[in-house]
Amino acid sequence: MSVFETIIIRIVGEQELIIGPLAWTEAGKISGLRVQKEIGVVSIQGDPKQAIDRLVARYEKLFGQISREVCKQAVASILADLKPDEIPASLK
């Protein structure tokens, strides 16, 4: 599993704690993402940073700025190991 897939699974998992299964449903609507909630698997087509940015933006559009902060907190430990240019803009 790539670091970006791990980031997405963490984000969706954290959002699921707040909004329930709707988190997976919304993730499945993101262009470039394929999700399988039943087994917690995500695959990314295209630029993974853009897919993450679209996912974070979707949650923020639906649930407000706090959703973006939840996303950032969910992956803070992963981001610490990435180079600055590897971090998606929505998580900076």
Q: Looking at residue 70, what is its pLDDT?
A: 96
In angstroms, the CA 50 to CA 39 distance is: 24
**What are the residue ranges of helices labelled H in 1-92?**
3-19, 22-27, 48-63, 65-79
- List, in order, residues 6 or more apart from 67 with CB less than 8 Å away: 15, 56, 59, 60
| 4-40 confidence digits (pLDDT tens) | 999 999 999 999 999 999 999 999 999 999 988 777 7
The CA-based angle 77-35-2, given to 5 degrees, is: 40
Please state the domain extents for the chain: 3-86
Distance CA 19, CA 81 (A): 28
Which tens digits make up the pLDDT trace of 36-84?
877 777 899 999 999 999 999 999 999 999 999 999 999 999 999 999 9
End-to-end CA distance of the chain: 22
